[in-house]
């Protein structure tokens, strides 16, 4: 299989994962959680919505929280493109599934309703904000630097993955279930590390988690310790620990609405075109989870639906990492 | 209850936890484990025995590994006393339960067979070895600095604990099961931190673990990563995580014979006589395990017997931390 | 020379360094500095005085700041004793040089005007405060855990040192200038690490610095980064770096009045009576300062006088570490 | 000034800094230095040359050491391009200044003799090597992950910088000396962080340093500590400390031939096209060096010449950071 069919010649040039939009039931509570525990900062806020970014980011936001009484859900995920002409190319690529929209803090934006049910925005630029990286006294919690990647559960990783490969993504790593003849996981990237979008097998589409980079292990521990201070110790769902794929370090925490945030260390660099895709054998669980034991059922089975998107296919439960 | 009846006027002056003596089935394998993963260094070695110490220690050893084909067990644990006259006072204290013995690398030594079945040595001095703390290129694994404490499971924490309080220990913290009217855990210390000897409730006496101090979280992660490199990832039994009592950080790893080592960060200082004993409510599990969830059955139920010491009482299973 | 003549049989039992009392010209500014940069917390405050402690401490204070328009100075340093009867023994030891005094937050206290000009308090107990170690969201700056040691410059290290050895201190390490036949430095300790009181050669008596323990290197960097955020980058006087003696890590910062605080990592354990005193050769500068180069003149020559105590002797400038 | 005239439409697509080629007088000594202190690993070695890479890298090498009795010098620096056709475009771009060459471990390579005197190779692919990131027991020293950037001193930053901007680089940050009407520094990047090539003002062209990424502050300290263990403590030339530009952490060490290596933490992400270039005022030294004081003359003035390239212009001494 060609894991990077259009990586060097993409139909439009996505540069990185951009943002994620979630609904929450109590905006104050959710903003406090992301400020106090993760260390994200609020760029803007109105009655119904808050826009947050990492302390290293100049982009207007990487996280949008919208108040809603409905079941907590994901309104959309987002990717950045190099420039506005990429949106024209993308509109042509997606045809009727794409439409121009306006979003606070964002430049030209194209909303895509992907056949998988994943709803994503392509964004050509955001309002520039001050990088508060050197305002050290103001830093809180885990000092979240920036958004890194998103993981979405889909019932058919091959089909959905192929569509993203056609957009120019490369699969840095995959988890292959040879017995079933399918992929349990696919780590798709455009920027210089192993993942912008991770696809995992299961009933979907659902957002499994979004991952922010924190500076060090101390920050990961501090997030867990703060969760306990806030009476949310049981929301520390998994880790701190180590993934096999990407050699990633992690701690997963559930927010007040059950959305899952992963805190990670700065990932390795993956950039050279000749680097081969790493293929993990789904049966080789000892390498996929090198230590720390399997994830809980809660971690594997619970996820955030996309707002108003039916779970269009019944697939196997997500088990790419920890079965 | 008086948690420090003889702390300031001990019958003999224990200064700290000194060492632990374990039997192992394959000496080369065990030495390699403690060198490569924990970073302990070998002070001396003969065909049947190896003596190891931490990179910060000038004492001859904190860990003695003796080759044996029997069920892996603990020959003895050890405490240091200030000087040889303390041994005379201790001999008087224990009467027929104590005898002078000779041990490689140790100065005057008194072996005590405690009524609880715990066998311990009191040692007045050890051969001085070079502190290799600044030989940085030689450091390995988690760079274990020194032995910190031992945890022993006993069927009656109150009775055994009282006997150790009478030796001059102070209970820095206890876990009280008010419903059962008993202690599930008692953190006894002589040196300036919360624990030299931790007693936990269960069938015993059995050594639950010995704990070594490592410099930082990075070292704790590195130990787990090395375990995975060595094909021993599943031996990383618990953590990295956080204890409530002592606010201790931890990662637990099982050695090739199943003995359990805990790697911890430098503990807090507990030294002032007026500091009150902290009493934890056994029912308050959310504080005792602030995050990371309950320990596995394996962690709670498996432990190392003392060599030739019958499990003299059937108590409740150990559950002081994580039921 | 006997570096521990009364370590095991002290005339009264000092347990550790307790506190330091400084005068400052602007109390608000100084409190903000120690809260924001070091992470100390305020236990009590009135118009003229603030009492601060580390986040790990249950003692009422380790730092007392008294507002004064005079030249910034050190009112006193302090040591803890085991119990009140130690004060009686100390009073007998010092004769007319000692008097009982009352201090906010302190139990029975004896003020000693030492022949060297050093003024110190011996304290039997302090008011117990909550340990805020687990109130993670409230932690600031370098998260200072506790006071560790004090360094005082005196014109005759041997004479002053001998007097402190007679109080029961042990010299864990000394720096010997063999050419001059004198000591340039002496690291005196009672608690389980290399230093409670460090004596350094120079015009004195003057307080060179007080040292607080922080959790990790990240905290040391964070203190320096916060100093820069506050426009006080040039107050980061030395480090982060490494001392030879004690293998200590350090960063030194000057407070708004020029008092010097050292942030250090948790020191090594020094506890066994048989451990020999380490003698450093003052000429072996490459070992005393293993890397990072010599300290600046500012670091070597500037220090805080004791309030109202004349610099009673003209000695050589302090050069025990870095000449 | 346009700091990114061809960033989105480069004449050929450089992806990142690739490697640096140095001459050394004793190959064994130099290899031992980079293995033991930095933690680089040897991919290949013959009598005259060694090729090393970081533990995270799959590329054949990032550092080439060639034995020579001449004055230690830099044979070339290198950049990666996306694919071989980029070399054709580059050859057209540079005309007679470029020629195809063959290099061990490298795919198609174009050698460019730049008008500034900088000699660099453009490389389309390297032999793929195993990523040894998870072979934890084999890691040494600072565990260098990968090459990050190079700093070259040139007598005219504007002229040389403009030429590199024309190749598609973007200036993430610049240091402008408004009084002199010139740039003292220019941070040029193609990959997703602030620097692939830093130009600094001074007599040149000379390689000031090459920078490798290490995982954490602990690794930076460990490198310095290992230098001291090896009797090379005085080779730790500057830091650990903090740069203003890029908010970079650093420690600089000189190798046995005087070449300078910088160890840094993973840099911030700089990727979005709308992010403005940060312009630093050369007079604002307190921001450019936020704490830790000015660099030594040695750090500012000493550098590695390019092999056989005359210092073609007498410029001001390098002073972009620390004057």
pLDDT, one tens digit per residue, over B273-287 is 999 999 999 999 999
The better pLDDT of the pair B311, B127 is held by B127
Alpha carbons within 13 angstroms on the beta-carbon side of residue B113 total: 10
Contacting B with CB below 8 Å, chain D residues are 36, 134-137, 140-141, 215-216, 218, 222, 225-226, 228-230
Contact D8 A59 (CB under 8 A): no
**Subunits adjacent to chain C (3 or more Cβ pairs under 8 Å):** A, B, D
CB nearest C133 (choices: B8, B268, B273): B268
ipTM value: 0.94
Q: Do B136 and D218 touch (CB under 8 A)?
A: no
Residues in D lying within 8 Å of C, measured between beta carbons: 217-218, 221, 224-225, 227-228, 231, 233-234, 236, 240-242, 249, 286, 289-293, 296
Report how far apart the first and last C-alpha atoms of chain D are (Å, whole number). 25
Q: Inter-chain contact C218–A218, Cβ cutoff 8 Å? A: yes
The vertex-D256 CA angle with D255 and D259, nearest 5°, equals: 40
Q: Give the position of tokens 């890298």.
A: D57
Contact D200, D152 (CB under 8 A): yes
Q: What percent of chain A has pLDDT over 90?
A: 95
Which member of D36, D141, D218 has the closest CB to residue B216? Answer: D218
The two beta strands, B304-305 and C14-24, are unpaired
List the beta bridge partners of residue D262: D211, D252
The predicted model scores a pTM of: 0.96
Q: Are strands C249-254 and C206-213 parallel, antiparallel or unpaired?
A: unpaired
Interface residues from chain A to C (CB-CB < 8 Å): 36, 134-137, 140-141, 215-216, 218, 222, 225-226, 228-230
Average pLDDT of every residue of chain A: 95
What subunits touch chain A, counting only 3 or more CB pairs under 8 A?
B, C, D
Is B301 a residue whose pLDDT tops 50?
yes
User: D262 with C320: CB under 8 angstroms?
Assistant: no
Task: Inform me whether the pLDDT recorded for D152 exceeds 50.
Answer: yes
Chain A: closest CA distance from residue D146 (Å) = 8
Residues B154, B157, B163, CA angle at the centre, nearest 5°? 100
Complete domains list, chain A, with CATH: 14-305 (3.10.180.10)
**Which residues in chain A have their CB less than 8 angstroms from residue B290's CB?**
225, 228, 233
d(Cα A195, Cα A268) in Å, to the nearest integer? Answer: 10
Residue D321 has pLDDT above 80, yes or no: no
Q: Are C189 and C169 within 8 A, CB to CB?
A: yes
Nearest to D263 by CA among D243, D249, D247, D244: D249
CB contact under 8 Å between A266 and D266, yes or no, is yes
CA nearest to B172, candidates B51, B273, B65, B296: B273
pLDDT for position D1: 85
B129 within 8 A of B248, measured Cβ to Cβ:
no
Locate C145 and state its tokens.
Answer: 């855990």
Structure tokens at C3: 């570096």
Say yes or no to pLDDT of A312 above 80: no
- Angle formed at CA A182 by CA A177 and CA A186, multiple of 5 degrees: 85
Name all chains with 3 or more CB-CB pairs below 8 Å to chain B: A, C, D
Mean pLDDT of D222-251: 97
Omega before D205 within 30 of 0, i.e. cis: yes
Contact partners, residue A29, CB within 8 Å, separation at least 6 = A256
Task: Kindly tell me if the per-residue pLDDT of B13 is higher than 80.
Answer: yes
pLDDT digits (tens, 9 = 90+) for D301-318: 999 999 999 997 644 433
Q: CB B291 to CB A225 under 8 A?
A: yes
The DSSP call for residue C257 is T
Return the closest-CA partner of residue C135 out of A228, B289, A221: A228
Enumerate the residues of chain C whose CB falls inside 8 A of the CB of residue D240. Answer: 221, 240-241
Give the distance, in angstroms, between the CA of residue B49 and the centroid of all CA atoms in the same chain: 20
What are the residues of chain C with a beta carbon less than 8 Å away from any beta carbon of chain A? 36, 134-137, 140-141, 215-216, 218, 222, 225-226, 228-230
Q: Do D291 and C221 touch (CB under 8 A)?
A: no
**For chain A, percent of residues with pLDDT exceeding 70:** 97
Question: CA of A263, closest CA in chain D: separation in Å?
Answer: 16
Query: What residue in C sits closest to B57 (Cα-Cα)?
Result: C269
Select the more confidently predicted residue: D51 or C315: D51
Q: Which residue of B has its CA nearest to C271?
A: B15
* Substitution target from D292, D294, D298, D321 for chain C, most C beta carbons within 10 A: D292
Q: Which of D258, D215, D250, D220 is nearest to D322 (CA)?
A: D250
Distances (CA, A) of A283 to A286, A316, B288, B292: 9, 16, 36, 26
Beta-carbon pairs below 8 A across chains C and D: 60
Q: Does the distance separating the beta carbons of C36 and A137 come in below 8 Å?
A: yes
pLDDT at residue number A314: 47
Give the other-Cβ count within 10 Å of D138's Cβ.
11
- Token digits of residue C307: 């309030």
Q: What is the pLDDT of residues A108-132, one digit of tens each?
A: 999 999 999 999 999 999 999 999 9
- Is D143 within 8 Å of D39 (Cβ atoms)? yes
The pair of three-digit structure tokens given for residue D212, joined into one six-digit string: 């490798």
Burial class (CB in 10 A: 0-12, 13-18, 19+), B32: middle
Q: Are A64 and A23 in contact (CB under 8 A)?
A: no
- Mention every residue, 6+ apart, whose C-beta is less than 8 A from residue B303: B153, B202, B204, B206, B207, B208, B260, B318
pLDDT classification of B293: cutoffs 50, 70, 90: confident
Work out the angle at residue A237's Cα, subtended by the Cα atoms of residues B262 and A174, and round it to the nearest 5 degrees: 95
Instruction: Tell me whether residues C272 and B107 touch, CB distance under 8 A.
Output: no
- Name the packing angle between helices D217-229 and C217-229 (round to 10°): 110
Q: Which residues 6+ apart lie within 8 Å of D315 measured at CB?
A: D154, D155, D156, D201, D202, D203, D204
Write out the two tokens for C171: 């010299």
Closest chain A CA to residue D136: A247
Closest CA of chain B from D85, distance in Å:
40
Q: Do D268 and A217 touch (CB under 8 A)?
A: no
Is the bond preceding residue B205 a cis peptide, omega within 30 degrees? yes
Across the interface, of B218, B228, B240, the residue whose CB is closest to A290 is B228
Chain A residue numbers with beta carbons less than 8 Å from the beta carbon of C220 are none
Q: Are B252 and B238 in contact (CB under 8 A)?
A: yes
Q: What is the DSSP string of D120-162?
A: EEEES-B-B----TT-GGG--TT---EEEEEEEEES-HHHHHH
Residues present in chain C in total:
323
Position A313 scores a pLDDT of 65
Given pLDDT bands bounded at 50, 70 and 90, which one contains residue C1? confident
Nearest by CB to D59, from A59, A131, A272: name it: A272
Residue A1's pLDDT is: 85
Q: Which of D56, D99, D57 is nearest to D76 (CA)?
A: D99
Q: Do D224 and C249 touch (CB under 8 A)?
A: no
Contact B294, B285 (CB under 8 A): yes
pLDDT band for position A317 (cuts 50, 70, 90): very low
Residues 6+ apart with CB under 8 A from A239: A220, A249, A250, A251, A252, A292
Q: Which residues contact C217 (CB under 8 A, 6 or more apart)?
A: B216, C240, C249, C265, D217, D218, D221
Q: Which of D218, D231, D289 lies nearest to residue C217, judging by beta carbons?
A: D218
- pLDDT confidence of residue B321: 35
* pLDDT for residue D259 is more than 90: yes
- B chain contacts of residue A234, beta-carbon cutoff 8 Å: 286, 291, 293
A136:C215 CB<8 A: no
| pLDDT at D64 exceeding the cut of 80 | yes
Q: What angle do CA C243, C278, C144 make, to 5 degrees?
A: 40
User: Comparing C-alpha atoms, which of B279, B299, B275, B296 is closest to residue B288?
Assistant: B279
Give the number of B-C residue pairs with CB atoms closer than 8 Å. Answer: 77
Residue B137 and residue D215: Cβ atoms within 8 Å?
A: no
Of D137, D215, D218, the CB nearest to B226: D137
Average pLDDT over residues A40-62: 98
Ranges of H-type helices in chain A: 27-33, 84-94, 157-166, 217-229, 285-288, 297-301
Residues B271 and A290: their CA atoms lie apart, in Å, by: 40
| D48 Cα to chain C: minimum distance (Å) | 32
The torsion angles phi and psi of A142, rounded to 5 degrees, stand at -85, 5
b (16+ CB within 10 A) / e for D178-214: eeeebbbbbbbbbbbbbbbbbbbbbbbbbbbbbbbbb
Strands D63-67 and D49-53, by their bridges, are: antiparallel
Pick the closest to residue A164 from A205, A107, A103 (CA basis): A205
User: Is residue C282 within 8 Å of C184, Cβ to Cβ?
Assistant: yes
Kindly report the average pLDDT of chain D as a whole number.
95
């Amino acid at each position: 299989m060609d894991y990077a069919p259009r990586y060097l010649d993409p139909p439009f040039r996505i540069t990185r994962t951009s943002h994620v939009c979630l609904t929450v039931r109590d905006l104050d509570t959710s903003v406090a959680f992301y400020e106090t525990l993760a260390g994200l900062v609020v760029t803007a806020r109105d009655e119904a919505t808050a826009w947050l970014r990492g302390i290293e980011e100049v982009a207007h936001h990487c996280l949008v929280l919208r108040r809603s009484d409905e079941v907590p859900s994901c309104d959309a995920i987002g990717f950045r493109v190099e420039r506005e002409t990429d949106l024209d190319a993308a509109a042509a690529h997606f045809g009727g599934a794409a439409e121009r929209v306006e979003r606070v803090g964002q430049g030209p934006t194209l909303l895509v309703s992907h056949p998988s049910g994943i709803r994503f925005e392509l964004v050509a630029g955001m309002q520039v904000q001050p990088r508060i990286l050197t305002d050290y006294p103001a830093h809180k919690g885990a000092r979240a630097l920036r958004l890194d990647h998103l993981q979405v559960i889909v019932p058919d990783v091959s089909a959905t993955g192929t569509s993203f490969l056609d957009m120019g993504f490369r699969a840095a790593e995959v988890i292959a279930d040879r017995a079933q003849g399918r992929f349990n996981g696919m780590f798709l990237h455009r920027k210089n590390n192993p993942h912008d979008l991770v696809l995992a097998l299961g009933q979907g589409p659902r957002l499994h988690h979004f991952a922010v980079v924190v500076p060090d292990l101390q920050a990961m521990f501090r997030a867990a310790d703060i969760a306990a201070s806030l009476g949310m110790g049981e929301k520390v769902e998994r880790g701190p620990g180590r993934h096999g794929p990407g050699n990633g370090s992690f701690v997963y925490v559930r927010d007040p609405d059950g959305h899952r945030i992963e805190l990670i260390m700065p990932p390795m660099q993956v950039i050279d075109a000749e680097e081969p895709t790493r293929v993990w054998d789904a049966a080789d669980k000892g390498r996929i989870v090198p230590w720390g034991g399997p994830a809980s059922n809660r971690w594997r089975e619970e996820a955030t639906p996309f707002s108003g998107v039916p779970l269009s296919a019944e697939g196997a439960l997500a088990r790419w990492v920890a079965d």
